[in-house]
Structure 1
C-alpha cells in the first residue's frame, strides 16, 4: 500500500538561484527519483502549526547554511539556533521517533549544542557526497520510521488486505467484489474504497489472530494498548461501551447479588442489573436547575452509609451475602464532573468485591497530569488487596476510534488477579462471532496514537482549544455588557490568559457557588474543561425563570441547520466536547454562528428566513419571528415550572416494588398492561423510563410512579401537542392515536 508521508525540507534558499539553493534542489530531486515525495518550505512560520506536520511527514531536513546564521555574529548565530531548537522541541512534544536531519555547507556539528544534536538522526555536509548517496541514506531512515508506525493488528490487517488473496469465507461481498456487480453496489464501493472492503474479513483468517480468544496480532495489540494505558489487562470491544459494561457485569454479578450503582448511570448498567438478576442499591448524585448532573456526595461512599442503604432496601436486606459484588460509578458525568478515584478507593477499601468506573467519556485522562487521580487506572496507582478495578472506555468518543470502538481496562489487586479464562466466558457471551476488523484496527491505532509523548500533546491541545473557546465566549460577553445578553459557558472562568493554567482552578471547593450543586467537599471533584456546557438566557441556577428566555432546543436546531451538530441539548443548555479532533476553525465557527443567532434573534427575523429547512417541515412556524417562538416555548416552560420538576423528579423518593429482573420477566411473559398517564400513580413500571433531555433513566423496571414524575409526563404530553418539531422525547412513553387524538401510555405490571 502506498501512503503519502513526504520528506519535508526547510531551507530559506529552497527556491533561490544560488549555489545553496541548487544543492538542496539536487538533493530533493534525488530523493524524488527514489520514489519519495518531497515538500520544500522556506521558513518555519508558526512553529506549533508547522510542527504538526510531523503527523504527515516521513522526516525533516533543516538547513543551517550561512544564510540562516546571518552575518555569523554571536547574535545571529543565537537567533538561528533558537529557531532550530524551538522547532525540534515542538516536533518532539508530539513525536520522539520521526527522523530529523541538519545540513549545511560550512557549519558542522561543532557549531550545534548538545541539546539539539541528541535529537538528530544525522548531519549532512553538502557537496561531500553525491545527492544520490545522501538521498538513499535519508530514505533508509525515513522508511525505518514508517515501517515501525503501525501497531501489531493494524500492520497485519494491511498486509492481509494488500496480499490479494482469494477469499472463500464470509462476508459474502468477498473483499468488495460483490458490490461491483450492481450499480448501487458500485456506488457503495466507490464511496468506501477498496481498502476498507478488502479489510472486512471474517475470523477465519489465521494470520490476523482472534478477537474472541485474544490470540495472534489481536493479542499483541491488546498487550500494546495495556502498556500504553498502564493497565494490567486490556480487551478491545467492537460493540461499544454498552457492551463493555455488560461484559464486566456478567463476569462478576449473579442473581441475588447486591450491587451499588450511581443512580444516574448509563442505561447499559441498568440493562446489566436486569440481565444478571442483581439487587440494586443506588447512590444519589446532586443536580442543579439547569438539569446538569452533579457528583455523588463524598459521604455516600462511606461503607457505613452503604450498609444503611442496604438495610433500607426491602430486597437487599433479605440477601444472604450483604457484601456488594460491584460498585459502578459514571466517571466522568456527561457534563464533565470527575471524581478523585483514589479517594473513593481508599474510603471503600476491600468492602466492595469489584470497582467499576464507566469512563466512556474519559479515555484521554490517563495521558495528561492535569487529570492526576481523576481516572481509574494509571501508572503507579496503589492497589487494593482483594478488589479488582475495571474501567470501560469509549475509544470512539474522545479518542480516534471508529463508532462502537471500546475497551475494557483492568487493574489487579495485590492478592487477587483477574482470571482471564473465566472473564473471557463473559466476553464471548456479549461479543459477535463476526467482529468488524476495521473497528479492531481503530482500537489498535487509537491506542498507538496516545503513545507518549504524542498522547500528552494531543490532550494538551484539546485543553488549550477548550480554554481558548471559553475565553473567547467570555470576551464576547464582556463586550456586549450588562445591558445586553449573550451565552455563558458553565464553569469557572479560566484564570490564566493563555495555556492550560492551574489545574486547581477546575477543582471544586467547598465554598464554590458557580455549579449550583450546593456544598461539595473540597478536592473530591473537578470539572473537565474539555466538556463545555453552554447556557442560554432565561433560567438561573436557582431555578428561577427570567421574563424572556431562549430555549436551547431552538438554538440546537438553528446550529444544525447551519452545519454545526452538538452533542446534547437540555432546557437552557447544550453540550459540546473538545475531542482531539476539534480545531480552532470549528470552535471559532461555533462562536460566529452564536453571534449570528443573537443578531437574528434581536431582529426577530422570521423562521422561514433563519431556519428555512425547519420551517418547510413545520409550516405553522413559517412566519413566526425567532424571538417570538423562543418566547412562546419559554412561557410554557415557565408555566409548568419545568426546571424544578425535572430536578425534583430525579431527586424524588422512588419506591422499589419488585427487583428489575422480576419486573422484566413480567414484560417478557406479557403480564403487563398499557396504562394512560392519568392513571399511572402508584403503578409499577415494566420498562425503563428515560426522558431526553438528559437521556438518563428516571425509572427502572420494578419501581413505582409517583406524583412528581407524572407531572413531568403531563408536561411532555401538553408540550408535544403545542410545539410539534420540538417534542420532548421520553423513552418508555408510548404515543398512540386514539379517536384521532394522540394519547400517551406506559407498560406497567398488571395488578
Structure 2
C-alpha cells in the first residue's frame, strides 16, 4: 500500500488511518528537521503541504488538540523553523510512543521532547502504573469556539480515585462523527447532544463517497428530529462496543423508553448533570474492563489458604520446598501456583455449573461477541465442536457438512450417530488445497434430500468459516437461501481461526454472529415482509424444493423462519488466551429445545478439573477485544496488506516467492465483484469492502498463502528452514506453500524479519543458480516443475458403501458412519492392503470394493481423504501414492490401508447398529 502523503487524498484507505496518520507525522517530522537545519523556502512549502494533509482528518482525535496544533500552525506561519520542528517532533513522538496517554507534558505546548521516541519497556514493566486512557467523542451543535472551554471543564472533573482517564473530541455533524468513529481507535464512548447538523464543516471532497460505503442509511432516509438516534444506530452497527449517551431537551423521560433510545446506555436532560455524565462514562468503561473470574482469581491468590484437596501444586509448597523441582517455581513464578485450586468455592465457581464469576464472565463474552449465550471451553475447539455436534444432532439426523472440515466434526458424527452428507469445496489443485463449499452445492444437497423424502431429517449445515487458508463464506447469503428451502435449519459455523472477526466491521459482515443479528433484524422488519410477499406473488405456488429453485435466491417465510446459529472459535488462535482456550457462541431462537442436550454434551466432554488459568485468560481476552479489538484487528489487517505488497512488488523476492491473491484463491464465478487483489493499483479498500458485502466468497487478507514452490521448496521443507535459520514459526503448509497468519501479536518488526528472510533466500538462490551449470539449473527447474506443475489431482468424497446407506439407489449421499467406525474395533472385521500392492489395483479394477475402516488424514493438506464406511476409489489411491508427506493420521505404511472385509459387509443392512 502506498504510504506517500500525496496518495492520501483518497479516503478509501482510511481503514488504516491510524497507521497512515503516524506515517504522515513522521514524514512531516523529517521534513521539519530539514527545514530547521537548512532554512530552505521550498522545505517550508513542503512542510505546509504535509501539514495540510495531516490536518485533513486530524479533528477526529483528541491529541494533539487545538492548543498544540494551533501552536504548530502558528510556528509555520511565523516562519519559525526551529520551533516548528520541535513541536512537530513532540507530536510525532507522542503519537508513535503513545506518551499522550500517560504523560501530561505531551499536551503542553511549552514542552519539547528530550528523550527517546520509544520506551524500552511498557509502563507496567518499568514500574509506572498508569490509568488506562481513552477518548470520548462529543457530537454537539454548540459553537466550535466553545469546544476548548468545554474540554477544559470536563478535564476538571477528573478525580484522583477515577480508575480511568479520558480526553474529549468535539465534532459538530453527523458526517464528522461517523468518520471519527471509523478512524479513531481510541474512542470508547460517544455523547450525542441533540441539535447537531448532518453535513461536515470540513473540506473533505471524498468524505460522502467514503461514508456511503460504510453507512447503511442515507441522509434522505433520516426523519426530522431523529438525527441523533439515527447516528446512534449507525454507530452501534459499525462499532457495537462503544457506549452511547444522549443529551436531549426533548422530554428525556419519555424518549428513554422509546425504541429510538434502545442503543443508548443512558439518556440525560441536556447538560444539567455534567458530573453524572462523567461518572456514567467511567462506569461504562468499568463494565467492559471488569473480568469477573480473573479479578476474583487474583484476590484468591492473596488469601492465606490451607489446601486439603487433590492438587498438591496449589500454593507451591511442594515445589518451593523441593530439592529437585524448585526451578519450576523460579521459572513460572508464584502467582500461577497461588492461583491454582481444585475447589469451586471462594468465588472460583464451577465451569460445569456456573452460578457466580464464571457465569458473569460468560455473560460478558456473549455481550462482547454479539451472541445470545456463550460457553467457555478449556479443551480447545476440537472439543467445542464435538459438544455442539452432540448437542444439536441425534442418531438418524442428516448433517450437510464440508468434507474438509476439522476432524473433530467427523468424530462428533460418530459420537452422536448423525449421518453426514459430505459436500465438496471447490478445488485449488495447484496448491493441493480446497477452498470452500459453493452455495449451489449446498442447496443441491438439500434438494437431493427433498427428492428422497428426507428433508425433514436434515437438521444441520456444518461449515468452516473462515477456512484455514482464509476463504470466508457469505453467511448471510448462505443462511438466507438455505432457510428459504427449510426454515428451521440449524447452522454450525466453525470459526476456529476467525474469532477476532467480531471486532471490526469488515470481517464482522462475514461472521456467523454478525449474520445472525443481521438476519434477525431483517426478518422482523416490515420492509422484509413486503419484500417477501412481492417475491412470493411473483413466483407463484412453485415449491422451493423444486429443482428450478437451485439458481434462485429464495426468501424465507418470515412467519416460519428460525434463526438457529452456533459458532465455535479458538480464542487462543486469534486472541490473547492460553492454548486450548475456546468459546461456544449461541444465537438460537429455539435454544429451549436444545438446552438440556447441550448441557449433557458439555458435561460429557468437559473436565471436572478445568485449568483455572485458561478460564481466566478467556475472561481477559474478552476484555481486551471489547476495549481495543477494533484497533488491534485493523492494525493486523494493515500489516498483512503491507506484507503482501512488500513481497509481491519486490523485484527479486517475487521471482521465487509470492503471496496468492484473491484471484488466485477464488475462482471468478464466486467473485462477482471481479476483485483481483487488495490495494492499489488493483483496487481501493472501498472496492474490497463492496466485494466482501456481495461476493459469494472473499479472502481474509490476514491469512497469506506464501507460494514457495518456485524457490524449489515444498511447504514442509520451507517451514523447517524458516524455523531453523530465521526463528520464524509457521503452522500450516501445503505441497508448495506455507500459510503466514498475521494476528494481533504481530509487529512491523515481525514483518521485517519475514521480508529479510525471503530477500536473503532469494539472493542465495540467485547466486547459486548463477554459479551452477546447465545441469544444475535444469535440476532446479525440474524441482520447481514437480512442485508447481506436476501436482496430484485432489480426490473428492466418493460415497458411502451401500450397506451404510438407507437408500442405496437414492441421489442423497448421507451415510451411517458410526457403525462403520465401531466395526473396526473388532480385528476379525478388518483387513489391510499395501498401498503399492497389485491387490489394490486389482480390486479397483475387478472388485470387491474397498471400504475404509477408519479416518485417513494426511498433513498437509489436513482433510480426511477416507472416512469409515467410504468406498475407496482410484483417484484417492492415486492421490495417496503421490503424497510425499510424512504425517498421515490413520495410515501406517508398514501394514497398509485398513479396510472392512467384504464378507462382513455382505448382506448387511444400513439400519444395523453392529
Q: TM-score, normalised by structure 1?
A: 0.72
SS of residue paired to 1:231: coil
Q: 2:624 aligns with which of 436, 441, 449?
A: 449
Distance 1:212 1:557 in 2: 41
Distance 2:850 2:397 in 1: 26
Alignment of 1:705-744 (within 5 A): 705-716=872-883, 719=884, 727-736=885-894
Q: 2:519: which partner in 1?
A: 382
Cα deviation code 1:171-196 (max 9, x no counterpart): 22232221234344212221111111
Distance 1:626 1:448 in 2: 56
Q: 2:383 aligns with which of 238, 243, 254?
A: 243
Any gaps of 5 or more consecutive residues in structure 2? 1-88, 114-129, 137-143, 166-281, 524-560, 663-675, 805-815, 903-914
Distance 1:523 1:599 in 2: 39
Distance 1:100 1:257 in 2: 51
Q: 2:866 aligns with which of 699, 709, 712?
A: 699
Q: 2:316: which partner in 1?
A: 176
Q: 1:118 to 1:461 in 2, by over 3 A?
A: farther
Cα offset, 1:238, TM superposition: 0.3
8 Å Cα contact 1:488-1:536 kept in structure 2: no
Alignment of 1:501-540 (within 5 A): 501-502=685-686, 504=688, 507=691, 523-538=695-710
Distance 1:244 1:342 in 2: 23
Distance 2:871 2:862 in 1: 19
Name the count of aligned residue pairs. 591
8 Å Cα contact 1:328-1:355 kept in structure 2: yes
Bigger shift: 522-531 or 727-736?
727-736
8 Å Cα contact 1:399-1:446 kept in structure 2: yes
Q: 2:715 aligns with which of 540, 545, 552?
A: 552
Q: 2:615: which partner in 1?
A: 440
8 Å Cα contact 2:712-2:784 kept in structure 1: yes
Distance 2:286 2:489 in 1: 44
Any gaps of 5 or more consecutive residues in structure 1? 1-41, 71-94, 102-108, 124-136, 312-316, 510-521, 539-547, 607-624, 720-726, 737-743
Q: 1:363: which partner in 2?
A: 499
Q: 2:457: which partner in 1?
A: 323
Cα offset, 1:248, TM superposition: 0.7
Distance 1:628 1:119 in 2: 73
Q: 1:471 to 1:351 in 2, by over 3 A?
A: same
Cα offset, 1:729, TM superposition: 2.2
Distance 2:785 2:660 in 1: 24
Distance 2:93 2:593 in 1: 49
Q: 1:750 aligns with which of 883, 901, 905?
A: 901
Distance 1:532 1:359 in 2: 17
Alignment of 1:315-354 (within 5 A): 322-349=456-483, 350-354=486-490
Cα offset, 1:49, TM superposition: 3.2
Cα offset, 1:731, TM superposition: 1.4
Distance 2:476 2:567 in 1: 14
Q: 1:466: which partner in 2?
A: 640
Q: 1:427: which partner in 2?
A: 602
Distance 1:661 1:333 in 2: 26
Distance 2:603 2:499 in 1: 24
Q: 1:588: which partner in 2?
A: 752
Cα offset, 1:279, TM superposition: 1.2
8 Å Cα contact 2:315-2:339 kept in structure 1: yes
8 Å Cα contact 2:352-2:603 kept in structure 1: yes
Q: 1:179 to 1:68 in 2, by over 3 A?
A: closer
Distance 2:357 2:763 in 1: 56
Q: TM-score, normalised by structure 2?
A: 0.59
Q: 1:48 to 1:559 in 2, by over 3 A?
A: farther
8 Å Cα contact 2:465-2:495 kept in structure 1: yes
Cα offset, 1:555, TM superposition: 2.1
SS of residue paired to 1:176: helix
8 Å Cα contact 2:383-2:408 kept in structure 1: yes
Cα offset, 1:686, TM superposition: 1.2
Alignment of 1:26-425 (within 5 A): 43-51=90-98, 59-62=102-105, 65=108, 67=110, 98=133, 113=148, 116-117=151-152, 120=155, 122=157, 138=160, 141=163, 149-288=289-428, 289-302=430-443, 305-308=445-448, 322-349=456-483, 350-378=486-514, 380-383=517-520, 385-413=561-589, 417=592, 419-425=594-600
Distance 1:733 1:300 in 2: 30
- Alpha carbon RMSD of aligned pairs, Å? 3.6
8 Å Cα contact 2:657-2:707 kept in structure 1: no
Q: 1:339 to 1:120 in 2, by over 3 A?
A: farther
The answer to whether the aligner puts 1:565 opposite 2:729 as a matched pair is yes
Distance 1:499 1:162 in 2: 55
